[in-house]
Structure 1
Amino acid sequence: MPARGWRETAAIYAHPRVVTFLFLGFSAGLPFLLVFSTLSAWMKRSDVSLATIGFASWIGITYSIKFVWSPVVDRVPLPLLTRWLGRRRAWLLLSQAGIGLGLLAMSFCDPRTELALLVTFSVIVAFSSATQDIALDAFRIEATDKSLQGPTAATYQLGYRIAVLIASAGALYVAAFYSWPVAYQAMAAFALVGIVTTLVVSEPPKRIEVATEEREAKVSEFAGRYAQLHPALRNAIVWIYGAIVCPFVDFFVRFRWVGVLLLAFIALFRLCDIPMGVMAYPFYLGLGFDELQIANISKIFGSVMTGLGALLGGVLVFRLGPARLLVLSVILIAGSNLTFAWLSALGRADSLVLTIAISVDNLAGGFSGSVFIAFLSGLTNTAYTATQYALFTSLMLLPGKILGGYSGVIVEWLQASARDVPVLAALLDWMNAAPKYQGFTLFFIYTTLLGLPALLLAIPVNRYFAKETPPSAKKEGQ
């Protein structure tokens, strides 16, 4: 079948399932910053120490270890809710309720006198948010065929970024004109977007491939071997085998040795992006930008550019398939860091250059996000969607988060000692870099180089999937 025209390609964004993920993406993006940078701003305004604020950032580990309880979300039915809504929507509703109620509870806490309680409710929000991610990723993959994976990834990202904008700049504006408790109460009200969407949409059908059915049959055979055990113990062993062992076995049965290559590529894909993001806000402030400039350029304008990049990525995934765009995606997200090296080398708060840097970085991030979400979605088996996708996304974040923890140390060392290394000194002279910010200049170049391992792995990954038919050449439902 010939590939669809560009007009038909663009019209795919009017598909009901594609539109649905604009709202579900919003639900996924809303809580993220409310337990990170926005919470840090509230704590800072409440005179909480920097050390305590730093410790509170460990709440984010919840997102990196969500694969631990993803088998539960994948397999365990919820009393009453599963019968009423279905497997995926039941977990979505429960987690979305946890987000909304957790944010509302946070609004009644005073960081000065009830910090422990505030952090406790923040952990509940983060855990509920991570659980929502597990169920939502499974829902997205199961609710759409492969021809819609790119567009749904794009609208999901667009909704996500709109929510991030509201949870960051929006919350800051409400806090400035009213108060922080009112800001968090407003954010809790926005949680209704996800709840209403979950109640309105239909449950996706459960699709199991023939090969998967054969492997599931082996679970029954496995259970028969332990018939003599106590029923509770036997059921626990069988559940672990079917919910945890089978998803991993399935992945390597389908991809064999290439599975190792794929997992390595997933782990390295955002290695250049996450450590850079850790130092972005301190870098802006250090250059002399104020909070209003950062909010307007980085949050508002940046979110628009991310949305445009996500939509562009979704269209090209639909036309070409995600694997063909992996090399370009790595080049874009790694190369965009050089625009910040340029800004740092100037050594002054140049709004035009910051706008250019934010534009390039967010456009690249949105584009690569759509490509990578669609790529990861294609790697999962619909029988184990939640478990496998949670593993992929956790693996994608963990190395960058670990390395990102050392970002400040690296900047300080480069600032103090770079001139002692002849090659680095020559590079700084060639760039005519401002001495006061030379640590940041070299740091952004370093984060660019962190993209090389992912680029080297993207080439064989692309070759492995090169013969796949692009979604635009497939009939819907294939």
Structure 2
Amino acid sequence: MTRFPSHIGQSLAVYRDPRVVAILFLGFASGLPLALTTGTLAIWMARAGVDKTTIGLFALVGVPYALKFLWAPLVDRMRLPFLTARLGRRRGWAVFTQGMLMASLLALGASHPVSTPWLTAFLAMAVAFCSASQDIVVDAYRIDILTERQQGAGAAVTQAGYRLGLLASGAGALFLADHLSWPTVYAIMALLMTVGVGAILLSPEPHGEKPPLPLFPRRERWRAWWREAVLAPFTDFLQRPGAFTILAFVLLYKFGDVFAGVMANPFYVDIGFTNSEIASISKLFGLLATLAGVFIGGAVVSRYGVLKSLLGCGVLQMASNLMFSVQAVVGHDLSLLAVTIGFENLAGGMGSAAFVAYLSLLCTTAYSATQYALLSSLMAVGRTVLSSGAGWVAEQVDWSVFFLLSTVAALPGLASGIRKRNRGVWGEASLPPHPSIPFSYSWSGRRSVSGV
């Protein structure tokens, strides 16, 4: 009994380390841009009178998140003129991507989605590209700057900061939009990016790094660089048993969830909710439900294993879409909206916890950064390319039918998971152990993907 408080104090002390605190602010900077190219932008366009099909197609502006693995080796290894010499490899790239993010956010806010939708789409994609590049840098910086003992705390504060960034650009932007113009709102969001700039400038460059390569490697180094930095992480993954079936599951697992999510904000607008109502329930209350779901999901993974948790949480994610159909029939009802958002975000948080644990287990330690970028990029394909037709579907049917269809869209991912479990694709032999999982879990003194 007497040792318990001391143990808790030692566990919490890691969060006071300046490097861990800096990761919190960098997580905020990583989370801030996403809503400004998705949910918040969708509400701006819906208020401006843009049709649903166009709003749905804007999901494609998130394609850079799905393709960031293509240029991750460049961000990881290449030298930037002036910035690398002054700040170091990681900090130089961080400041560069953050500066580009601020500029692209200002330009996006100054665009006109009704009169020049293609320009708005181009600028939104520029924001997404810079944001995806910043994610690569921040993930690499976190891994490099923190000790092995601090990696768990780093993952936790990254998630917390990311959610706070989403809150600022989601609920915060909507509250501001009730009183200010959209260009002003986006300018304020660009200003908030200085939180990340300040954090990286006040933090040290990681020690013991491999020296960055020149921006254009000499010819004799090119082939060796290409094999080690680009090809090796992918060939290592693809040589595993069942690699392509695992990739198919990663692509489809969250599809039903994101298919509904693309049109959720236009749905709220369509049935009469105000910006402030959407912000308070969908964003603020929804954030709390998501955080609760993440922690519950971590406990479920600890108790039942990754695969069982993936399938169980996937069923809950699918069922939560049915609540939106009920909301569509009832219409404007704040109490029901709270129940709908609470269920959907709780289930989504649980599914995300299990999914992140699974993706982490898939990564070989030597290539974890690039392989995780590959897997998260593939996951983003479902959020962008596959879900881009959601607006067209919403134009063809009423909202209740649309959300029923989104429930059906979750079935292929679940069916794929059940099929893989029956075939034993996810046995321990096909998944190398990974030392740093964002959610601590163990059972019977070992790690297991099958959960048996």
Q: TM-score range by the shorter chain?
A: 0.7 to 0.9
Report the Cα distance in structure 2 between the residues aligned to 1:184 and 1:240, rounded to whole angstroms: 39
Match of 1:14 in 2: 15
User: Structure 2 counterpart of 1:442, which letter?
Assistant: L
User: Structure 2 counterpart of 1:453, which letter?
Assistant: A
User: Structure 2 counterpart of 1:302, which letter?
Assistant: G
Cα–Cα, structure 1 residues 329 and 109, in superposed 2: closer, same or farther, change >3 Å?
same
User: Structure 2 counterpart of 1:14, which letter?
Assistant: Y
Q: CA RMSD in A?
A: 3.9
Checking the alignment, whether the CA contact within 8 Å between 1:153 and 1:370 is kept in structure 2 is: no
Checking the alignment, whether the CA contact within 8 Å between 1:23 and 1:197 is kept in structure 2 is: yes
Single out whichever of 313-322 and 401-410 deviates more from structure 2.
313-322
Shift of 1:353: 2.3
Match of 1:192 in 2: 194
Match of 1:358 in 2: 341
Checking the alignment, whether the CA contact within 8 Å between 1:73 and 1:134 is kept in structure 2 is: yes
Which of 27, 33, 36 is equivalent to 1:34?
36
Q: Deviations over 1:393-446 (max 9, x none)?
A: 111121453332333455566x5xxxxxxxxxxxxxxxxxxxx75513532431
Which of 71, 74, 78 is equivalent to 1:72?
74
Checking the alignment, whether the CA contact within 8 Å between 1:322 and 1:374 is kept in structure 2 is: yes
Match of 2:133 in 1: 131
Shift of 1:30: 0.7
Cα–Cα, structure 1 residues 305 and 201, in superposed 2: closer, same or farther, change >3 Å?
farther
Match of 2:251 in 1: 267
Unaligned runs of 5+ in 2: 211-216, 444-452
Single out whichever of 64-73 and 359-368 deviates more from structure 2.
359-368
Match of 2:449 in 1: none
Percentage identity across paired residues of the two chains: 37
Checking the alignment, whether the CA contact within 8 Å between 1:347 and 1:437 is kept in structure 2 is: no
Match of 1:160 in 2: 162
Shift of 1:80: 3.7
Which structure would you say has the larger Rg?
Answer: 1
Q: Deviations over 1:429-465 (max 9, x none)?
A: xxxxxxx755135324313434413542674466426
How do 1:109-128 and structure 2 match up within 5 A?
109=111, 119-128=121-130
Cα–Cα, structure 1 residues 79 and 188, in superposed 2: closer, same or farther, change >3 Å?
same
User: Structure 1 counterpart of 2:74, which letter?
Assistant: V
Report the Cα distance in structure 2 between the residues aligned to 1:148 and 1:156, rounded to whole angstroms: 12
Single out whichever of 15-24 and 178-187 deviates more from structure 2.
15-24
User: Structure 1 counterpart of 2:230, which letter?
Assistant: I
User: Structure 1 counterpart of 2:408, which letter?
Assistant: Y
Single out whichever of 347-356 and 64-73 deviates more from structure 2.
347-356
Match of 2:95 in 1: 93
Checking the alignment, whether the CA contact within 8 Å between 2:320 and 2:347 is kept in structure 1 is: yes
Unaligned runs of 5+ in 1: 209-230, 416-435
Cα–Cα, structure 1 residues 280 and 45, in superposed 2: closer, same or farther, change >3 Å?
closer
Checking the alignment, whether the CA contact within 8 Å between 1:157 and 1:370 is kept in structure 2 is: no
Checking the alignment, whether the CA contact within 8 Å between 2:94 and 2:137 is kept in structure 1 is: yes
Checking the alignment, whether the CA contact within 8 Å between 2:241 and 2:425 is kept in structure 1 is: no
How do 1:459-474 and structure 2 match up within 5 A?
459=421, 460=424, 463-464=427-428, 471=440
Shift of 1:355: 0.9
SS of the residue corresponding to residue 403 of structure 1 reads coil
User: Structure 1 counterpart of 2:231, which letter?
Assistant: V
Match of 1:216 in 2: none
- Equivalences, count: 426
Report the Cα distance in structure 1 between the residues aligned to 2:160 and 2:433, rounded to whole angstroms: 30
TM-score (norm 2): 0.78
Single out whichever of 394-403 and 102-111 deviates more from structure 2.
102-111
The question of 1:331 aligning with 2:315 is answered yes
Which of 280, 292, 296 is equivalent to 1:296?
280
Report the Cα distance in structure 1 between the residues aligned to 2:106 and 2:23, rounded to whole angstroms: 25
Match of 1:340 in 2: 324
SS of the residue corresponding to residue 65 of structure 1 reads helix
Shift of 1:89: 2.8
Match of 2:355 in 1: 372
Shift of 1:126: 1.9
Shift of 1:196: 1.5
Cα–Cα, structure 1 residues 174 and 167, in superposed 2: closer, same or farther, change >3 Å?
same
